[in-house]
Structure 1
């Protein structure tokens, strides 16, 4: 559970960076952004695997780049559900997917290091 919350914090950080750098992404308050990140984590855990399975041939044909489209769709879905978190269209969502992907990768690297450290000391 703690790792999920840490990953959500990194996702919120990525969404905040995206809102700062990409026109068309806005949020009302930091808590709104954190709620959007939590919902994004849930949507990615529940809905994304099904979408990946359904679009597998297209994903293979595009050498995995179609996964960015799926991630952008997940961000658009979250923006439709969470009031106060707005994404103006597909292009801002795609750029946000890139940015949150990089921050999520950084979180994975950091959490991987934390797991290795606790395994040695625990």
Structure 2
């Protein structure tokens, strides 16, 4: 249930960011949910491989190369999902940074509910 709620919150963040950022377009709510699922799957499987293979670049840049990896994940989601478009690398970079911030904030609300029960 918590995973489903996280996907819905990510879809909400995708819709909000598509309305805020120029260069990011989403067709509707269903596309946003599909984008949230695809981004979650890409983060689980592809991101870990990218981090492993680019570990030297990540270490040299003190972790800043992870922003590039996140932008690549967004660009891959753009290619995989119809109804979601990102105009270029910079738009994907800003989108990924803001999406991470939004997701951290929204997911912290979920963890706050868990702390009230303990």
**TM-score after normalising by structure 1:** 0.88
Over 2 Å off, 4+ runs: 114-118
Match of 1:88 in 2: 87
Aligned partner of 1:21 in structure 2 is 20
Pick 1 or 2: higher relative contact order, CA cutoff 8 A, min separation 6.
1
Question: In 2, Cα distance between the equivalents of 1:62 and 1:114?
Answer: 36
Q: Give the TM-score normalised by the residue count of structure 2.
A: 0.90
C-alpha RMSD over aligned residues = 1.4
Q: Deviations over 1:39-86 (max 9, x none)?
A: 100110111111111111111221211111111111110111111111
Which runs of 5 or more structure 1 residues have no equivalent in the other structure?
none
Deviation at 1:114, TM superposition (A): 2.6
Number of aligned residue pairs: 118
Q: Quote the residue 1:105 is aligned against.
A: 104
